[in-house]
Amino acid sequence: MKIALIGYGEVGRILAEELRAPGHVVRAFDVKLATEDRAPLVAHARRFGVKLARSHAEAVRGAELIVSAVTASQTVAVAMACASALDPRSFFLDLNSASPGAKISAAGLVRNGGGRYVEGAVMTSMPPYRLKVPLLVGGPDASALLPTLKELGFAATMASERLGAASATKMCRSVLIKGLEAMTIESFTAARHYGVEREVIASLRETLPGVDWEKQAAYFFQRVIEHGRRRSEEMQEVAVTVRDTGIEPFCASATTERDAWIADRCDQGLFGEREHDGFARNPDWRTEADRILAEVKGSRQ
C-alpha dihedral, 231 to 74 to 105 to 126, nearest 10°:
-50
pTM value is 0.89
CATH of 167-300, one of 3.30.70.20, 1.10.490.10, 1.20.1250.20, 1.10.1040.10: 1.10.1040.10
Domain 2-163: which CATH number of 3.40.50.720, 3.30.1280.10, 3.40.50.1100, 3.90.1150.10: 3.40.50.720
Nearest CA to 232 out of 200, 198, 267 is that of 267
* Per-residue model confidence (pLDDT) at position 281: 60
Each residue's pLDDT, cut to its tens digit, for the chain (301 residues) gives 999 999 999 999 999 999 999 999 999 999 999 999 899 999 999 999 999 999 999 999 999 999 999 999 999 999 999 999 999 889 999 999 999 999 999 999 999 999 999 999 999 989 899 999 999 999 999 999 999 999 999 999 999 999 999 999 999 999 999 999 999 999 999 999 999 999 999 999 999 999 999 999 999 999 999 899 999 999 999 999 999 999 999 999 999 999 999 999 988 888 865 444 344 467 899 999 999 999 998 877 6
Helix axes 100-112, 165-194, angle to 10 degrees: 140
- Please report, for the chain, the start and end positions of each structural domain, with discontinuous segments joined by +: 2-163, 167-300
Q: How far apart are CA 87 and CA 26, in angstroms?
A: 16
Q: What is the pLDDT of residue 139?
A: 97
pLDDT in the model for residue 278: 41
* pLDDT given for residue 275 in this prediction: 44
pLDDT for the residue 253: 98
The answer to whether 242 and 175 have CB atoms below 8 angstroms apart is yes
User: Could you tell me if 182 and 254 are in contact, meaning their C-beta atoms sit under 8 angstroms apart?
Assistant: yes
pLDDT at 267: 87
Q: b/e per residue, 2-30, with b = 16+ CB within 10 A?
A: bbbbbbbbebbbbbbbbbbeeeebbbbbb
* Whether 138 contacts 118, CB under 8 Å: yes
The Cα 22–Cα 4 span in angstroms is 16
**225, 271 in Cβ contact below 8 A?**
yes
